[in-house]
Amino acid sequence: MNAFAQLHMQASLSDSYVDMASQAPMLSKRSGLDQYKRQLAETRAVLFQKRALQMLQGSETEQAKARREAVLKRVTREFWTNFVVRGEETAMLKHLQESLREEFGSDLQFYYPPGDVQMVILREKGASCEPVEPSVHAAIVNRAWQLARDLVASHMC
């Protein structure tokens, strides 16, 4: 071989080596993505099998009921906070206040005195208000919570 042919062969070999070296990161990225896709597919398959097993065992309906109950409690708590603490006026809150008025015979006011953590319920008597007795207080709170919960549940799908 002449010198020119040897140089040409070395140059073409080194170029192909450079091309392979420059593609090495691309190949490792591609293999990393392929590995990620395989892991994702395996994870989906495991989750699908787990969900199918739950449905066969009937625990799917129990989980749905538990999720619904958790949402119901959270929304009722927010509704209760709007009713008692903030005193907001909405149609649902007015309905709750009217239901309590019908059951307990007078308008009730719920409030927290400044610096106190105990809720006070006042019953309107004429132009004035007086606190309710402790036994009646517990009955009002329990009934108000149940009415609020029923009202929220009636608006949930």
Q: In the chain, what are the domain boundaries?
A: 1-57, 59-155
Question: Is 138 within 8 Å of 102 (Cβ atoms)?
Answer: no
List residues bridging with 121 in a β-sheet. 110
Coil, helix or strand at residue 129: strand
How many Cβ atoms from other residues are within 10 Å of residue 77's Cβ?
Answer: 14
- pLDDT of residue 74 exceeding 80, the answer is yes
Question: Is 80 within 8 Å of 152 (Cβ atoms)?
Answer: no
Average pLDDT over residues 78-100: 79
Which residues, 6+ apart, have CB-to-CB distance to 80 below 8 Å? 144, 145, 148
pLDDT tens readout for residues 37-68: 778 778 877 877 777 776 666 666 677 788 88
